[in-house]
């Protein structure tokens, strides 16, 4: 049986305006991918679809939009590997940012 884990999803900047949240816990199966996580977000939240649209490539919804950033426990995921990256541990923190810059 797949183990259920609880992770924390943190969202930032303009993405917060869509879901009206800064962070939320999610219960997922260990080994779920970011793709699975986004699918769940789409199902769970009223504005989930809008959220997915905002982080996805407008030309290809199966691809994350350039410069939208995903981190797992502070490790920045490489653009072409984001959707297939798996989440394993209870307590993992997934951070999602829209395009950002500055310094």
Partner 1 sequence: MTHGYMGKQIWINLSKHKVKTNDIDGKILQQYLGGKGLGLKLIYDYVKSNHLNITTMDAFSPNNVLYFGTGPGTGIKGFPCPGRYHVMALKSPLTGSIGSANSGGSWGPFLKFAGFDGIFIEGKSEKPVYITILDGKVEIHDASDLWGFTVFDLEDELQKRHKSENYQVSITSIGPSGERLSLIGCIMNDKHRAAGRTGMGAVMGSKNLKAIVVGGTKRPTTAAGEDFKPVSQKMLKKMKDNPVTGEGLPKLGTAVLVNVVNSTGSLPLNNWQQAYNENVEPISGETLAEKYLIKALPCWGCTIACGRTVQVLDGPFAVKYSEGPEYESIWALGNSCGVMDLPAIIKANHYCNEFGLDTISVGSSIACAMELAEKGHIPEEDLQGLILKFGDPSAMVDLIWRAAYQTGIGKYIAMGSAKLAEHYGHPELSMSVKSLEMPAYDPRGIKGIGLNYATSNRGGCHVTGYTISPEVIGLPEQIDRLSYEGKEVWVKIFQDFTSGVNSTVNCLFATFALGAGDYAELLTAVTGWDINDGEFLKIGERIYNLERHIMDKLGIKNQDTLPKRLLEEPIPEGPSKGEINKLEKMLGKYYELRGWSDEGIPLPEKLKELGID
91 binds partner 1 (CB under 8 A): no
Candidates 2, 3, 60, 66; binder of partner 1 (CB under 8 A) is 66
Nearer to partner 1, 48 or 98 (CB): 98
70 SS3 class: strand
Query: Could you tell me if 47 and 16 are in contact, meaning their C-beta atoms sit under 8 angstroms apart?
Result: no
Cα gap 18→4, rounded to integer Å: 27
d(CA 88, CA 65): 24
Residue bearing tokens 């797949």: 2
Report in angstroms how near the CB of residue 96 gets to partner 1 at its nearest: 10
Q: Can you read off the two tokens belonging to residue 29?
A: 């199966």
Q: Which of 4, 73, 89, 91 binds partner 1 (CB under 8 A)?
A: 73
Binding site for partner 1 (CB under 8 A): 10, 12-14, 16, 22, 65-69, 71, 73-76, 78-79, 95, 97-103
């Amino acid at each position: 049986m797949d183990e259920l884990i609880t992770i924390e999803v943190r969202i930032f900047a303009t993405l917060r305006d869509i879901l009206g949240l800064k962070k939320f816990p999610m219960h997922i199966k260990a080994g779920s991918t970011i793709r699975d996580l986004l699918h769940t977000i789409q199902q769970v939240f009223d504005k989930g679809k809008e959220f997915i649209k905002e982080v996805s490539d407008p030309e290809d919804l199966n691809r994350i939009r350039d410069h939208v950033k995903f981190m797992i426990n502070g490790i920045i995921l490489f653009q072409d590997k984001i959707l297939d990256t798996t989440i394993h541990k209870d307590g993992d923190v997934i951070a999602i940012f829209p395009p950002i810059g500055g310094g």
